[in-house]
Structure formats: C-alpha cells, structure tokens
Chain A
Amino acid sequence: MKKYLKYIILLVFIGGAFGFYMYNKPHKNISKAKTDLELSAIQLFADFENNEADANTKYLDKVMEIEGVVKDVTKDENGMTSITLDAGGEMFGVICQMDNLAKHKRTDFKEGETVKFKGICTGVLMDVVLVRCVEV
C-alpha cells in the first residue's frame, strides 16, 4: 500500500492543478483565435433577416471576420466602444462591441470608412450583435 501512496498523492496533485487551471481558464484571445467565417456585414444581416433560426445555427458563437462601412460609433460610460456597421437596412445594422480585454490600435472610427472586425457572433435583436471585437 505504502508504495502506491506517492503515486496517489501525485495524481491528486495533478488533478488539483488541472482543476485550478480549468477554473481560471482565460477567455479566448480573439486576436489569435482562428477565424471560423468571413463575410460582409450586409450578408450577415441578410442571413439573419431571412431565417433567424438557420442563421443562429450557422453563426452563433463563431469567431467571425466582418467587413462593412461604419454607420455609427458610440462610447458608453466605461469607455467601451461599439461600432454599427451598415447592412443596407434603414435603421438596423451589425453592431460590433469592442473587446475590453484586448488592446486596440485605435478606438475612434469615422462614419463612412470601411473596416473589418473580428469578433464572436451572439445573435440578433434588432441589430446583429458581435461581442469582443478587434479590428483586423
């Protein structure tokens, strides 16, 4: 029995360390994450417009690169920037909320400029929402 003891202790230790690591697992690093899909803001919005359920299965939780024209830029009280990309609709578009865990080259964008963001698609309310976005 005694000769197994040190193995058991080692196992418990490894298990504990693994558990601790998992518990503190960092958020996905968006800049380094592999891009699952790449498309235009117009296409993304249209897909959600045409069939939300299908679009959900296709896009939810995916790391996406979305290209579009800046329609609106807002900053909230915590200094977090959100960019609305034009998607052809009168009122609604694709909102990219910039990642507050990443460092950004810039957070000021001009209306009308073409940009590309990488972020995680969370679905559609009135606009399609992407969170944790970084510029690419």
Chain B
Amino acid sequence: MKISKLLLITCILFLGINLQAQKHFTRTGKITFSSEAPLEKIEASNQKATSIIDLETGKMEFAVLIKAFQFEKALMQEHFNENYMESDKFPKAIFKGAIADLTKIDFSKDGDYPTKVKGKLTIHGESNEIEVDGTINIKDGKISASSNFEVAVADYKIKVPAVVKDNIAKTVQISVNMNYELFKKKNDHLTQKN
C-alpha cells in the first residue's frame, strides 16, 4: 500500500508534463441522492467525493465514503449506515468507467457536451455494469461533469424490510456534480512550497 502510493507519486512527479496535463481531479465532488416513497422523502448529500478524469482515454473514476453522507434527520443517517448500507463493512462506493463517445467532446473548446458514461458501479459490496447520461462542461479550460441517474436498491442487495417498504423507494435518484482541477496544478503548488 505504502510502496504503491510512493511509486504512484514518483510516477506523477517524474513522468512527462504532457501525461499529467491530461488528468483532471477533484476531492470536493458533490454527490446527493434522494428516495421518494409514498410515505417519506429521504435526501442526503456528500461533498467529499473524489474523482479523476483522464482526457486522453476518457476514463473516469469516482469514490465516495458512505459515512460522509449527511442527512437531515439523524435517525435516517443511522439507519442508512447501520441497516441498509452496512457502512462498517462497506465504507466506500466506487465507480470505474469511461466516457462512451469521447470523440464528440472537444476539451479545448468551451461548451456543454452531453455524453454517456459506461462502467462498473460498486455499492454495498455489489458491482453492476451501468450506463448513465451525463454532461461534460468546459469553461476556460476547467472541466466539470454532472449526471443524474437512477439506481435500483435491489441491484445492490440492500435489504429493505417489508415494514418500511412504503418509506423507502425501490429506485433512488442519484445526482453527481464534479468540478475538476488540473492534476498538475497541485504538484506545482507543492513543489513551489518545498
């Protein structure tokens, strides 16, 4: 673990600037979800998702800590973590995938680019292949990405007891908002400081 991280950092520091310039990164991504069931509307948000996008290959990765989701009601948050997501056992949700139609996006030109992203979503220890619609926005060289999609609770083996079946929706709306920064920038900043 330690060695691999060191290696990664060394690679990033010593590989050509060209390669770095292709990667954009955020550690303050926003992911929210809402479940609208007949009896109850449940919403939660997480502002600490990390994500990386590789402009050359179109690969995208997202990771989020389940326990960092904040709910309006403490009890909901407790149930979410303990009963449904079992976040002690499965602390993260991860998506690894790629932009399906990369050629349609011109990263050097400002604008909104609707796109599809395909990949593997892992929640609650269960992985599923998904394909979602999203938008890549380019403005002054800054990249942001957003998407709204639905996830079926049953696909991820999240058990909802019959008693609360009217409180928790079968499909949950997920919305993702990422404002990326150039990966290189952070290094520059650090090397300046050192």
Contacts and interface: CB of A to CB of B under 8 A. Distances in A.
A117 to B, nearest CB: 14
Interface centre among B73, B81, B190 (most CB of A within 10 A): B73
B96 interface: no
State which size class the interface on A falls in: 35 or more
A126 B50 contact: yes
A61 B67 contact: yes
A92 B110 CA distance: 30
A122 B75 CA distance: 17
Nearest to A53: B91
Nearest to A84: B27
Interface string B31-73: 0000000000000000111100000000000011111101001
Nearest to A100: B70
A76 B187 CA distance: 21
A50 B190 contact: no
A56 interface: yes
B28 interface: yes
A52 B91 CA distance: 11
Given A25-B73, A90-B9, A123 B48 contact: no
Per CB-CB distance, the 5 closest pairs between chain A and chain B, nearest first, are A122-B67, A122-B68, A123-B91, A27-B74, A122-B65
